Amino acid sequence: MTFGELARSRFEELGDAENIAHSLRILGHLASDQGSSAEGLELTQRAHQMFVDLGNALGQAQCEAVAGEIEYLLGSYEDARRTIQRGERNFATLGQALGRGQCLLLLSWIEHSEGATERSRRLAQEARSEFERAGYRLGTAQADVSIAHVEHRLNNFHSAETGALDALATFETLRTPRGQAACDRLLAMIGLDTDDLDMAELHSDRASKHFARMNDPWGVIETKLLFAQIALVRHQNGKARTLLEESSRVVVEEAEARQHFLLTRAWLQVAEGDTEAALESVEAAAEVFDQRSRAGDHTPHLLGRLARFQWPAHGLDRIDAWRAVLNDRLRRKT
């Protein structure tokens, strides 16, 4: 951030509008990565308007990709989809395979969050083809981990683990901490969901260290929640409560982390016999996004855990109803 601010100041002294806009876009992306997504979106939108005024189509497309990603993180899916689709069209017109691949990957993330797994997979595969065309190994690894997320959503845990490990090897070769953290977090979720707690703990620890070094609040809270979930499986409710209290003090703007927090809290509450409080937490989690069909990447699996507990009939009915909404295959049949 320091170097980005310095660059913007220098370009402002020179009156170089194009590079001021590039600096604002980069600062917006960095702000989002460090937990200030709303501020990051504002900076990126300012940069986009400058590129519009300059008639710089490539700059506009680059801003649309960043702004769309931030809108996705904030849970504004319709805005994100429109913004990213504009960016994808602009990159395609300019013949920019790398930028188009990034937009396709972002669209894949949105479809995944909405439970449209086959569309998500197709978009990630198309993004991978664009990255291959551009010779961008980092992008192909990003597409691979996105496809692994789809497999995880479908409970194809072996395929998900294989894809995540392959992507992790590439990220390690390229020395990309954010990519490594993403793979380790996914592998931790797979370990948790298959009751391989040693695997879950190993990769949660690795992801936690990466996110802490990057000063990423979203990653910090997500890994704390994974540790809390591991503790709950081990019936270490006191440890889980402490981790949830620590998580509650981490300020995040991203909807996904808030939903995962509420569902983990519900898990602790029902494990301790407070089903009414647990149902309130589940209902709050369901309202985090503007539609119940939209959810964080671990939400379906957490709901599956919750469904194993003893609930009043009306409570289990509400959980089952939400799970059905999240099941894309069921929605397509109806």
Position 167, amino acid: A
pLDDT tens per residue across span 277-305: 999 999 999 999 988 989 999 999 999 99
pLDDT higher than threshold 70 for residue 274: yes
Rounded mean pLDDT, 170-193: 97
Residues 225-273 have pLDDT tens digits of: 999 999 999 999 999 999 999 999 988 888 999 999 999 999 999 999 9
- The candidate with the shortest Cα–Cα distance to 268, out of 248, 287, 253, 250, is 248
Written as six digits, the tokens of 60 are: 């506009």
**Taking a C-beta distance cutoff of 8 angstroms, is the pair 31, 69 a contact?**
no
Contact 190, 164 (CB under 8 A): yes
Backbone angles phi, psi at 155, to 5 degrees: 65, 25
The answer, yes or no, to whether residue 332 has pLDDT greater than 50, is no
- Of the chain, the percentage scoring pLDDT greater than 90 comes to 80
Query: Residues 75, 289: contact at Cβ < 8 Å?
Result: yes
Query: Rounded CA gap, 38 and 41, in Å?
Result: 5
Alpha helix (H) ranges present in the chain? 2-14, 17-33, 37-54, 57-73, 77-94, 97-113, 117-134, 137-153, 157-174, 177-193, 197-214, 217-233, 237-248, 255-271, 275-286, 299-306, 313-326, 328-333
Mean pLDDT for 153-173 is 97
pLDDT digit string, tens, across residues 192-218: 999 999 999 999 999 999 999 999 999
Question: What pLDDT, in 10s, does the model give residues 6-38?
Answer: 766 777 767 778 888 989 999 998 988 787 888
Q: Are 245 and 207 in contact (CB under 8 A)?
A: no
Which domains are present in the chain? 2-135+220-333 (1.25.40)
Q: Does residue 44 surpass a pLDDT of 90?
A: yes
The 10s digit of each residue's pLDDT in 110-129 is 999 888 999 999 999 999 99
**According to the model, what pLDDT value does residue 35 have?**
74
